[in-house]
Structure 1
Amino acid sequence: MTDLAQRNGKVALRAALFAAAMLALAFASVPLYRIFCQVTGFGGTPMRVVAAPDKVIAGSVGVRFDANIQPSLPWKFVPVQSTVRVQPGARTTVFYEATNYSARTTTGQATFNVTPEQAGPYFSKIECFCFTEQTLKPGESVRMPIVFFVDPKIRDDESTKHIDEITLSYTFYPTGN
Protein backbone atom coordinates (compact mmCIF):
# COMPACT_ATOMS: atom_id res chain seq x y z
CA MET A 1 0.00 0.00 0.00
CA THR A 2 1.38 3.38 -0.92
CA ASP A 3 1.97 6.20 1.51
CA LEU A 4 -0.78 8.26 -0.16
CA ALA A 5 -3.31 5.43 0.20
CA GLN A 6 -2.46 5.06 3.90
CA ARG A 7 -2.94 8.80 4.50
CA ASN A 8 -6.23 8.78 2.60
CA GLY A 9 -7.37 5.80 4.68
CA LYS A 10 -6.53 7.63 7.91
CA VAL A 11 -8.42 10.74 6.74
CA ALA A 12 -11.45 8.62 5.78
CA LEU A 13 -11.39 6.85 9.15
CA ARG A 14 -11.19 10.15 11.03
CA ALA A 15 -14.06 11.59 8.95
CA ALA A 16 -16.20 8.51 9.66
CA LEU A 17 -15.43 8.70 13.39
CA PHE A 18 -16.26 12.41 13.39
CA ALA A 19 -19.58 11.75 11.60
CA ALA A 20 -20.45 8.97 14.10
CA ALA A 21 -19.59 11.25 17.04
CA MET A 22 -21.79 14.05 15.63
CA LEU A 23 -24.68 11.60 15.14
CA ALA A 24 -24.33 10.37 18.73
CA LEU A 25 -24.22 13.97 19.99
CA ALA A 26 -27.39 14.78 18.04
CA PHE A 27 -29.26 11.95 19.77
CA ALA A 28 -27.85 12.86 23.20
CA SER A 29 -28.49 16.59 22.91
CA VAL A 30 -32.15 16.58 24.01
CA PRO A 31 -31.64 14.64 27.27
CA LEU A 32 -28.42 16.53 28.00
CA TYR A 33 -30.17 19.88 27.45
CA ARG A 34 -33.06 18.78 29.71
CA ILE A 35 -30.62 17.83 32.47
CA PHE A 36 -28.75 21.12 32.03
CA CYS A 37 -32.00 23.11 32.33
CA GLN A 38 -33.14 21.19 35.41
CA VAL A 39 -29.79 21.68 37.15
CA THR A 40 -29.39 25.37 36.32
CA GLY A 41 -32.97 26.63 35.95
CA PHE A 42 -32.07 27.80 32.45
CA GLY A 43 -34.99 28.72 30.18
CA GLY A 44 -37.45 29.02 33.05
CA THR A 45 -37.06 25.39 34.09
CA PRO A 46 -37.87 24.97 37.80
CA MET A 47 -35.23 23.42 40.00
CA ARG A 48 -35.82 19.96 41.52
CA VAL A 49 -34.84 19.69 45.19
CA VAL A 50 -35.45 17.46 48.22
CA ALA A 51 -36.41 20.04 50.87
CA ALA A 52 -37.40 23.66 51.36
CA PRO A 53 -34.94 26.06 53.00
CA ASP A 54 -35.14 26.78 56.72
CA LYS A 55 -35.47 30.49 56.02
CA VAL A 56 -38.82 32.12 55.13
CA ILE A 57 -38.76 35.84 54.37
CA ALA A 58 -41.43 38.51 54.68
CA GLY A 59 -43.42 39.62 51.70
CA SER A 60 -45.10 37.43 49.13
CA VAL A 61 -44.98 36.37 45.52
CA GLY A 62 -48.02 35.39 43.49
CA VAL A 63 -47.88 32.05 41.71
CA ARG A 64 -50.31 31.47 38.86
CA PHE A 65 -51.00 27.96 37.54
CA ASP A 66 -51.61 27.17 33.88
CA ALA A 67 -52.71 23.84 32.35
CA ASN A 68 -52.60 22.70 28.74
CA ILE A 69 -53.22 19.42 26.90
CA GLN A 70 -51.79 18.32 23.59
CA PRO A 71 -54.94 17.77 21.44
CA SER A 72 -54.39 14.03 20.87
CA LEU A 73 -54.55 13.31 24.62
CA PRO A 74 -58.25 12.85 25.58
CA TRP A 75 -57.94 14.39 29.03
CA LYS A 76 -59.24 17.36 30.92
CA PHE A 77 -56.44 18.93 32.96
CA VAL A 78 -56.94 21.91 35.29
CA PRO A 79 -55.38 23.48 38.38
CA VAL A 80 -57.53 23.22 41.52
CA GLN A 81 -56.46 26.78 42.42
CA SER A 82 -55.58 29.24 39.70
CA THR A 83 -53.32 31.39 41.94
CA VAL A 84 -51.74 31.45 45.39
CA ARG A 85 -49.57 33.97 47.25
CA VAL A 86 -46.53 32.47 48.93
CA GLN A 87 -43.76 33.74 51.15
CA PRO A 88 -40.34 33.05 49.66
CA GLY A 89 -38.92 30.00 51.42
CA ALA A 90 -42.30 28.59 52.51
CA ARG A 91 -43.11 25.05 51.41
CA THR A 92 -46.42 25.11 49.50
CA THR A 93 -48.66 22.32 48.18
CA VAL A 94 -51.16 22.79 45.36
CA PHE A 95 -53.09 20.33 43.21
CA TYR A 96 -54.01 19.80 39.58
CA GLU A 97 -56.83 17.50 38.47
CA ALA A 98 -56.81 15.28 35.40
CA THR A 99 -59.67 13.23 33.93
CA ASN A 100 -59.42 10.67 31.14
CA TYR A 101 -62.42 11.11 28.83
CA SER A 102 -61.59 8.17 26.57
CA ALA A 103 -62.77 4.55 26.71
CA ARG A 104 -59.20 3.27 27.01
CA THR A 105 -56.31 3.59 29.43
CA THR A 106 -54.00 6.41 28.40
CA THR A 107 -50.64 7.63 29.62
CA GLY A 108 -49.30 11.16 29.54
CA GLN A 109 -46.21 13.06 30.59
CA ALA A 110 -46.24 16.71 31.62
CA THR A 111 -43.63 19.21 30.59
CA PHE A 112 -43.32 22.45 32.52
CA ASN A 113 -41.80 25.88 32.58
CA VAL A 114 -41.80 29.05 34.64
CA THR A 115 -42.27 32.61 33.45
CA PRO A 116 -40.73 35.06 33.69
CA GLU A 117 -37.64 33.05 32.74
CA GLN A 118 -35.47 34.85 35.31
CA ALA A 119 -37.57 33.26 38.09
CA GLY A 120 -36.77 29.69 36.94
CA PRO A 121 -33.66 29.22 39.09
CA TYR A 122 -35.61 30.39 42.17
CA PHE A 123 -38.69 28.19 41.69
CA SER A 124 -37.96 24.77 43.19
CA LYS A 125 -40.11 21.64 43.19
CA ILE A 126 -39.86 19.00 45.90
CA GLU A 127 -42.61 16.76 44.53
CA CYS A 128 -44.46 16.91 41.22
CA PHE A 129 -46.60 14.72 39.01
CA CYS A 130 -44.43 15.96 36.14
CA PHE A 131 -41.46 13.89 37.34
CA THR A 132 -43.11 10.67 36.08
CA GLU A 133 -45.62 9.48 33.49
CA GLN A 134 -49.27 9.47 34.58
CA THR A 135 -51.61 6.64 33.55
CA LEU A 136 -55.37 7.07 33.78
CA LYS A 137 -57.99 4.37 33.26
CA PRO A 138 -61.13 5.12 31.22
CA GLY A 139 -63.17 7.81 32.98
CA GLU A 140 -60.68 8.03 35.89
CA SER A 141 -60.02 11.36 37.61
CA VAL A 142 -56.98 12.02 39.80
CA ARG A 143 -55.71 14.83 41.97
CA MET A 144 -52.00 15.38 41.46
CA PRO A 145 -49.88 17.36 43.95
CA ILE A 146 -47.05 19.78 43.47
CA VAL A 147 -44.91 20.67 46.48
CA PHE A 148 -42.73 23.70 45.81
CA PHE A 149 -41.14 26.83 47.21
CA VAL A 150 -39.80 30.09 45.86
CA ASP A 151 -36.19 30.50 47.00
CA PRO A 152 -35.73 33.56 49.25
CA LYS A 153 -32.67 34.47 47.15
CA ILE A 154 -35.13 35.72 44.50
CA ARG A 155 -35.18 39.02 46.44
CA ASP A 156 -31.35 39.34 46.36
CA ASP A 157 -31.01 39.15 42.57
CA GLU A 158 -31.28 42.49 40.74
CA SER A 159 -33.09 40.86 37.80
CA THR A 160 -35.74 39.18 40.00
CA LYS A 161 -36.20 41.20 43.17
CA HIS A 162 -39.17 43.10 41.73
CA ILE A 163 -41.02 40.06 40.36
CA ASP A 164 -44.49 39.97 41.90
CA GLU A 165 -46.00 37.03 39.97
CA ILE A 166 -44.62 33.78 38.62
CA THR A 167 -46.54 31.52 36.24
CA LEU A 168 -46.05 27.76 36.43
CA SER A 169 -47.26 26.23 33.18
CA TYR A 170 -47.76 22.54 32.36
CA THR A 171 -48.54 20.83 29.08
CA PHE A 172 -49.51 17.13 29.05
CA TYR A 173 -48.48 15.05 26.04
CA PRO A 174 -49.44 11.44 25.28
CA THR A 175 -46.66 8.91 25.62
CA GLY A 176 -46.20 5.74 23.62
CA ASN A 177 -46.77 3.49 26.67
Structure 2
Amino acid sequence: MTLAIDPRAELSRKHRKVARFATVAALASLGMGFAAVPLYRMFCQATGYGGTTMRVSADTKTVPVAGKLMSIRFDSNVTPGMPWDFYPEHKTDTVTVGARDMAIFIARNMSDKPITGTATFNVTPEEAGAYFSKIQCFCFTQQTLKPGEEIRMPVLYFVDPKILNDPDAKKIQEITLSYTFYPVEQDAKQR
Protein backbone atom coordinates (compact mmCIF):
# COMPACT_ATOMS: atom_id res chain seq x y z
CA MET A 1 0.00 0.00 0.00
CA THR A 2 1.41 3.37 -0.96
CA LEU A 3 0.62 6.52 0.90
CA ALA A 4 -0.40 9.43 -1.23
CA ILE A 5 1.26 12.76 -0.45
CA ASP A 6 -1.15 15.64 -0.44
CA PRO A 7 0.38 18.21 -2.84
CA ARG A 8 -1.30 21.06 -0.97
CA ALA A 9 0.22 19.98 2.36
CA GLU A 10 3.66 19.72 0.75
CA LEU A 11 3.28 23.20 -0.80
CA SER A 12 2.12 24.62 2.54
CA ARG A 13 5.19 23.11 4.29
CA LYS A 14 7.49 24.72 1.70
CA HIS A 15 5.76 28.09 2.11
CA ARG A 16 6.24 27.95 5.91
CA LYS A 17 9.92 27.14 5.40
CA VAL A 18 10.36 30.12 3.04
CA ALA A 19 8.43 32.37 5.45
CA ARG A 20 10.71 31.35 8.37
CA PHE A 21 13.80 32.00 6.25
CA ALA A 22 12.46 35.42 5.14
CA THR A 23 11.65 36.36 8.76
CA VAL A 24 15.14 35.41 9.95
CA ALA A 25 16.71 37.34 7.06
CA ALA A 26 14.56 40.41 7.78
CA LEU A 27 15.45 40.35 11.50
CA ALA A 28 19.14 39.91 10.70
CA SER A 29 18.99 42.87 8.27
CA LEU A 30 17.25 45.00 10.87
CA GLY A 31 19.88 44.10 13.47
CA MET A 32 22.70 44.92 11.06
CA GLY A 33 21.03 48.24 10.28
CA PHE A 34 21.17 49.23 13.95
CA ALA A 35 24.69 47.87 14.40
CA ALA A 36 26.14 49.43 11.22
CA VAL A 37 26.84 52.92 12.60
CA PRO A 38 28.60 51.85 15.82
CA LEU A 39 30.49 49.10 13.99
CA TYR A 40 31.59 51.53 11.26
CA ARG A 41 32.67 54.07 13.91
CA MET A 42 34.72 51.39 15.73
CA PHE A 43 36.29 50.29 12.43
CA CYS A 44 37.21 53.89 11.53
CA GLN A 45 38.64 54.58 14.99
CA ALA A 46 40.71 51.40 14.90
CA THR A 47 42.10 51.98 11.42
CA GLY A 48 41.97 55.74 10.87
CA TYR A 49 39.82 55.09 7.80
CA GLY A 50 38.06 58.10 6.32
CA GLY A 51 40.14 60.56 8.31
CA THR A 52 38.97 59.25 11.67
CA THR A 53 41.55 59.98 14.31
CA MET A 54 42.96 57.40 16.64
CA ARG A 55 41.94 57.53 20.32
CA VAL A 56 44.62 56.85 22.89
CA SER A 57 44.69 56.93 26.68
CA ALA A 58 46.30 59.72 28.68
CA ASP A 59 49.12 57.42 29.80
CA THR A 60 50.21 56.66 26.21
CA LYS A 61 53.93 57.34 25.89
CA THR A 62 54.89 59.82 23.20
CA VAL A 63 58.33 60.39 21.76
CA PRO A 64 58.96 63.71 20.01
CA VAL A 65 61.07 63.49 16.86
CA ALA A 66 63.56 66.36 16.91
CA GLY A 67 63.41 68.57 13.83
CA LYS A 68 60.24 66.95 12.40
CA LEU A 69 57.49 69.56 12.38
CA MET A 70 53.90 69.33 11.20
CA SER A 71 51.42 72.13 10.60
CA ILE A 72 47.99 71.50 12.12
CA ARG A 73 45.02 73.51 10.86
CA PHE A 74 41.82 73.68 12.89
CA ASP A 75 38.44 74.00 11.22
CA SER A 76 35.05 74.49 12.88
CA ASN A 77 31.48 74.40 11.62
CA VAL A 78 27.92 74.32 12.94
CA THR A 79 24.99 72.88 11.07
CA PRO A 80 22.72 75.43 9.38
CA GLY A 81 20.23 76.89 11.82
CA MET A 82 22.21 76.05 14.96
CA PRO A 83 22.61 79.39 16.76
CA TRP A 84 26.16 78.86 18.04
CA ASP A 85 29.41 80.61 17.32
CA PHE A 86 32.06 77.89 17.24
CA TYR A 87 35.70 78.47 16.40
CA PRO A 88 39.27 77.45 17.28
CA GLU A 89 41.23 79.78 19.54
CA HIS A 90 44.09 79.55 17.02
CA LYS A 91 43.50 78.53 13.41
CA THR A 92 46.91 76.83 13.00
CA ASP A 93 49.67 75.37 15.11
CA THR A 94 53.07 73.95 14.30
CA VAL A 95 53.90 70.88 16.36
CA THR A 96 56.81 68.52 16.70
CA VAL A 97 55.84 65.07 15.42
CA GLY A 98 55.38 62.81 18.46
CA ALA A 99 54.97 65.67 20.96
CA ARG A 100 51.71 66.22 22.81
CA ASP A 101 49.92 69.47 22.10
CA MET A 102 46.63 71.13 22.93
CA ALA A 103 44.11 73.10 20.90
CA ILE A 104 41.20 75.05 22.36
CA PHE A 105 37.84 75.40 20.65
CA ILE A 106 35.31 77.97 21.82
CA ALA A 107 31.54 77.66 21.55
CA ARG A 108 28.95 80.30 22.40
CA ASN A 109 25.17 79.97 22.40
CA MET A 110 23.84 83.01 20.56
CA SER A 111 20.16 82.16 21.18
CA ASP A 112 17.78 82.98 24.01
CA LYS A 113 17.26 79.26 24.83
CA PRO A 114 19.51 76.52 26.20
CA ILE A 115 20.91 74.46 23.33
CA THR A 116 22.53 71.03 23.55
CA GLY A 117 24.94 70.08 20.81
CA THR A 118 27.40 67.34 19.98
CA ALA A 119 30.37 67.44 17.65
CA THR A 120 31.72 65.05 15.07
CA PHE A 121 35.18 65.33 13.56
CA ASN A 122 37.44 64.22 10.79
CA VAL A 123 41.02 64.64 9.69
CA THR A 124 42.32 65.44 6.23
CA PRO A 125 44.16 64.24 4.31
CA GLU A 126 42.57 60.86 5.04
CA GLU A 127 45.99 59.15 5.19
CA ALA A 128 46.79 61.23 8.28
CA GLY A 129 43.81 59.88 10.25
CA ALA A 130 45.69 56.77 11.34
CA TYR A 131 48.49 58.93 12.80
CA PHE A 132 46.55 61.79 14.40
CA SER A 133 45.98 60.57 17.95
CA LYS A 134 43.58 62.28 20.32
CA ILE A 135 44.11 61.89 24.05
CA GLN A 136 41.19 64.06 25.13
CA CYS A 137 38.37 65.51 23.04
CA PHE A 138 34.91 67.02 23.36
CA CYS A 139 33.57 65.13 20.35
CA PHE A 140 30.55 62.87 20.83
CA THR A 141 29.96 64.44 24.25
CA GLN A 142 26.82 66.49 24.61
CA GLN A 143 27.50 70.14 25.46
CA THR A 144 24.60 72.18 26.85
CA LEU A 145 24.99 75.94 26.70
CA LYS A 146 22.62 78.39 28.35
CA PRO A 147 21.65 81.54 26.44
CA GLY A 148 24.79 83.61 25.88
CA GLU A 149 27.02 81.04 27.61
CA GLU A 150 30.51 80.43 26.24
CA ILE A 151 32.76 77.44 26.92
CA ARG A 152 36.35 76.55 26.09
CA MET A 153 36.87 72.95 25.00
CA PRO A 154 40.37 71.45 24.89
CA VAL A 155 41.65 68.82 22.49
CA LEU A 156 44.85 67.03 23.54
CA TYR A 157 46.58 65.30 20.64
CA PHE A 158 49.82 64.24 18.99
CA VAL A 159 50.95 63.15 15.55
CA ASP A 160 52.31 59.61 15.73
CA PRO A 161 55.93 59.42 14.47
CA LYS A 162 54.96 56.36 12.39
CA ILE A 163 53.60 58.85 9.84
CA LEU A 164 57.21 59.51 8.82
CA ASN A 165 57.62 55.88 7.68
CA ASP A 166 54.36 55.47 5.78
CA PRO A 167 55.02 55.91 2.04
CA ASP A 168 51.45 57.17 1.54
CA ALA A 169 51.61 59.69 4.39
CA LYS A 170 55.22 60.64 5.03
CA LYS A 171 55.10 63.62 2.65
CA ILE A 172 52.15 65.19 4.47
CA GLN A 173 53.14 68.59 5.84
CA GLU A 174 49.73 69.85 6.99
CA ILE A 175 46.88 68.07 8.76
CA THR A 176 43.43 69.60 9.16
CA LEU A 177 41.32 68.68 12.19
CA SER A 178 37.72 69.64 11.48
CA TYR A 179 34.74 69.64 13.85
CA THR A 180 31.07 70.14 13.13
CA PHE A 181 28.54 70.78 15.90
CA TYR A 182 25.00 69.43 15.52
CA PRO A 183 22.01 70.10 17.75
CA VAL A 184 21.03 67.10 19.85
CA GLU A 185 17.75 65.68 18.59
CA GLN A 186 15.45 66.86 21.39
CA ASP A 187 16.68 70.45 20.91
CA ALA A 188 16.24 70.21 17.15
CA LYS A 189 12.58 69.17 17.64
CA GLN A 190 11.87 72.14 19.94
CA ARG A 191 12.76 74.70 17.25
Band the TM-score falls in, shorter-chain normalisation: over 0.9
Q: Distance in 1 between matches of 2:61 and 2:162?
A: 10
State the alpha-carbon separation in 1 of the partners of residues 150 and 97 from structure 2.
Answer: 32
| Residue number in structure 1 paired with 2:61 | 53
Contact 1:105 1:136 in 2 (8 A): yes
Give me the whole-angstrom Cα distance separating, in 2, the residues matched to 1:29 and 1:85.
37
Return the alpha-carbon distance in structure 1 between the equivalents of residues 181 and 51 of structure 2.
17
Q: 2:162 aligns with which of 140, 149, 153?
A: 153
Matched, 1:173 2:178: no
Q: Partners of 1:82 and 1:91 in 2: how far apart? A: 18
CA distance in 2, matches of 1:54, 1:148: 10
Q: Tell me the CA shift for residue 35 of structure 1.
A: 1.6
Q: Secondary structure at 2:50's aligned position in 1?
A: helix
Give the TM-score, by structure 2 length: 0.89
What is the letter of the counterpart of residue 27 of structure 1?
F
d(CA) in 1 for partners of 2:32, 2:125: 30
Which deviates more, 164-173 or 24-33?
24-33
Specify the alignment match of 2:189 in structure 1.
Answer: none
How many residue pairs were aligned? 177
- 8 Å Cα contact 2:132/2:158 also seen in 1: yes
Q: Relative to structure 2, which stretch is displaced further, 106-115 or 23-32?
A: 23-32
Note the C-alpha offset of 1:4: 2.9
1:1-177 → structure 2 map (5 Å cutoff):
2-51=9-58, 52-58=60-66, 59-177=68-186
TM superposition shift of 1:56: 1.2
- Post-superposition Cα deviations, 1:49-96, rounded to whole Å, max 9, x if no partner, equal 113433211210000000001012110001001000111110101101
SS of 2:80 mapped into structure 1: coil
Structure 1 unpaired stretches of 5+: none
- Aligned equivalents of 1:54 and 1:115: distance in 2? 22
Distance 2:42 2:62 in 1: 26
Q: What percent of counterpart residues are identical?
A: 54
Deviates more, 1:16-25 or 1:49-58: 49-58
CA shift, 1:176, in A, is: 2.1
Kindly state the Cα deviation for residue 7 of structure 1 after the two structures are TM-superposed: 2.2
- Rounded to whole Å, the distance in 2 between the matches of 1:85 and 1:11 is 62
Helix, strand or coil at the partner of 1:153: helix
Q: Considering only CA atoms, is the larger Rg found in Structure 1 or Structure 2?
A: 2
SS of corresponding position for 1:30: helix
- Report the more deviating stretch, 84-93 or 53-62: 53-62
Within 2, Cα distance between the matches of 1:71 and 1:146?
Answer: 24
Which ranges in structure 2 are unaligned for 5 or more consecutive residues? 1-7, 187-191
SS state of the match for residue 139, structure 2? helix
Q: Secondary structure at the match of 2:130?
A: helix
1:167 Cα deviation after fit: 0.3
